[in-house]
Amino acid sequence: MDMLPLVKAARVGVPATAPEPCIPSQLVWAGATIRAVMAMTVVGHPLAQHLLTQLRDVQTPPPVFRTIAKRLTIAIVLEAVRGLPAVEVEVQTPLERTTGRLIFPDIVAVPILRAGLGMLEAVAELFPEVSVGYIGLERDDVTLLPTSYYEKLPPIEGRHVLLLDPMLATGGSAAGACAKIEERHPAEIRFVCVVAAPQGVDKMRREHPNVPVFTAALDRDLNDRGYILPGLGDFGDRLFGTGSDSGLPPSRRP
């Protein structure tokens, strides 16, 4: 069999369907197997990167953090909704009739509590008709495994799910939430985060290869407490002003 060209699966601000270069761990042969490989879009737009830099800044206080998180989510969701079903409609402008397109998706937004709540308002503003479900997961500080403490989901079957969680670290939370949603047979799940670690991306690729990941950054690593490096610290604590050591070793905690 002829060798097919190598393609990259990590994409920088391009539609999820276009073949684009990927990080080394995701190199695959194009063709039949490509569909089994999770696609990842890193939103490299300068505005997204500007906002991300502000979020990373340890000096950014919770009220500003919340505002910036919402703006950045809008920038990432703009990429994440590419390719959703749309309908052509006729519209009367003040001057004449023309045609246009309306996104006509049956979207369900599912924030993973708590930190995912920081992304929900952006989605609800962009899609006021969205249905919202909630999955509550909390990561154990020692094992880094998520435990489930809440679940309230609307009908999911055949619908387009935007799963929201800003931090893809070990990937346990995102993969666990995908498993819960997949039991309900959605048309598709798209995972929207702010910062991803290679370990989390790898877990998603292995366990949920059909779930594309949209993020503003693919960071370097995790520290020994499962925090993303360089990351932005504990998103939930920074969002809700609950204070945190942000995964720092005891000698460097504030």
C-beta of 232: minimal distance to ligand URA in Å? 7
Q: Which of 143, 206, 220, 242 is catalytic?
A: 143
143 an active-site residue?
Answer: yes
Q: Which two tokens stand for residue 73?
A: 């989510």
User: Distance between CA 216 and CA 222 in Å, rounded?
Assistant: 17
Shortest Å distance, C-beta 177 to ligand URA = 14
Which of ligand PRP, ligand URA, none sits in contact with 138, Cβ below 5 to 8 A by type?
ligand PRP
Cis-peptide into 252, omega within 30 deg: no
Contacting residues toward ligand PRP, per CB under 6 A: 112, 114-115, 137-139, 144, 146, 165-174, 200, 226, 235-236
Give catalytic status of residue 170 as yes or no.
no
Angstrom distance (rounded) from CA 222 to CA 228: 4
- Compare residues 44 and 136 and give the one whose CB is closer to ligand PRP: 136
User: Which chain residues interact with ligand URA by CB under 6 A?
Assistant: 115, 167, 169, 226-228, 231, 234-236
* Cβ-closest position to ligand PRP: 236
What backbone phi and psi angles, to 5 degrees, belong to 146? -80, 140
> Is 140 within 8 Å of 128 (Cβ atoms)?
no
**Shortest distance, position 170 Cβ to ligand URA, whole Å:** 8
Return the structure tokens found at 48: 């997204």
Task: Please state, in angstroms and rounded to a whole number, the distance separating the CA atoms of residues 19 and 39.
Answer: 9
Pair of tokens at residue 49:
């990167």
Which residues belong to the active site? 139, 143, 234, 237
